[in-house]
Amino acid sequence: MGPLLRIPVIRSLHDRQLLFPVVVVLVVSGVLVQGAWQSGDRPAETAGQEDTPAPVPSPVSRRPDLEKTPLTYFDDYWRQLRERVEDKVVLVGPNRTPAVVVMPGLALTSAEAGDAVLAEIERARLMRPPDEPSASGGTVDAAAVVALPIGEGGEAPAIEAGVDDPAAEPMPAPRPGGLIAVDRNRGLSLFEVDASRVEAFDLIPPAAVPSGSYVAAVTRDRTGRAAITPGHLVSARAAPDGQSLEVSMRLAGRGATAVVNLDGALVGVAVDSGEAGAGPRLLSSSVVRRVVAELQRHVRCRALVVSELEPPVLALLGIDSGVLVEQVRQDAFAPEPSLRAGDVILEWDGEAVTTVEVFEARTDALEPGALVRYRVLRGRRRLAGGTVLPGDDCRPLGEPPVRLRRFGLALRWTANGGAGAREGWRVAATAPDGVAAVAGLQLDDLVIAVDGRAAEGLDARAVFERMERRGEPTLITVRQADRVRIFALDPG
Q: What is the CATH number of the domain that holds 443?
A: 2.30.42.10
Residue (of 171, 115, 176, 173) closest to 143 by Cα position = 115
CA distances from 1 to 10, 22, 465 (A): 11, 16, 130
The residue out of 358, 388, 418 marking a domain boundary is 388
What value, to the nearest 5°, has the Cα angle with vertex 138 and ends 307 and 176?
110
* Co-location of 126 and 198 in the same domain: yes
CB 250 within 8 A of CB 229: yes
Asked, for residue 394, whether it belongs to a domain, the answer is no
The CATH number assigned to the domain holding 233 equals 2.40.10.120
Q: Which residues contact 66 (CB under 8 A, 6 or more apart)?
A: 72
Cα 74 versus chain centre, distance? 30
Cis peptide before 311 (omega within 30 of 0): no
Asked, for residue 60, whether it belongs to a domain, the answer is no
- How many structural domains compose the chain? 4
> What's the rounded Cα separation, in Å, for the pair 491 and 434?
9
* Co-location of 201 and 235 in the same domain: yes
Residue (of 393, 187, 200) closest to 291 by Cα position = 187
Asked, for residue 66, whether it belongs to a domain, the answer is no
CB 420 within 8 A of CB 399: no
**Residue pLDDT tens, the chain, 492 long:** 567 667 777 777 777 777 777 777 777 777 777 776 766 555 544 444 555 566 666 655 555 544 555 666 677 888 899 999 999 999 998 889 999 999 999 999 998 898 888 888 878 877 777 655 544 433 333 333 333 222 233 333 332 333 334 344 445 555 667 888 888 778 899 999 998 899 999 998 888 888 888 899 999 888 888 988 898 888 876 665 556 778 888 877 788 999 999 999 999 999 987 666 667 888 888 889 988 988 887 656 788 899 999 999 999 999 999 999 998 887 677 666 788 999 999 999 989 999 999 998 888 888 777 788 999 999 889 999 888 888 776 766 666 788 898 999 999 888 754 444 578 899 988 988 899 999 999 988 999 999 999 998 888 889 999 999 999 999 999 999 889 999 999 988
> What's the rounded Cα separation, in Å, for the pair 287 and 285?
5
The residue out of 251, 271, 299 marking a domain boundary is 299
User: Within a 13 Å sphere around the CA of 173, how many CA atoms are in the beta-carbon half?
Assistant: 4
Predicted confidence (pLDDT) per residue in 37-57, tens digit: 766 555 544 444 555 566 666
Asked, for residue 62, whether it belongs to a domain, the answer is no
Neighbours of 209 (CB within 10 A): 23
* Co-location of 117 and 258 in the same domain: yes
* Co-location of 313 and 201 in the same domain: no
* Co-location of 161 and 241 in the same domain: yes
Residues spanned by the domain of 317 = 304-388
* Co-location of 320 and 448 in the same domain: no
Predicted confidence (pLDDT) per residue in 298-346, tens digit: 656 788 899 999 999 999 999 999 999 998 887 677 666 788 999 999 9
* Co-location of 125 and 251 in the same domain: yes
Asked, for residue 46, whether it belongs to a domain, the answer is no
Model pTM above 0.75: no
The DSSP bridge partners found for residue 282 are 270
* Co-location of 86 and 210 in the same domain: yes
The residue out of 388, 414, 429 marking a domain boundary is 388
> What's the rounded Cα separation, in Å, for the pair 490 and 487?
10
CA distances from 93 to 110, 143, 305 (A): 11, 15, 33
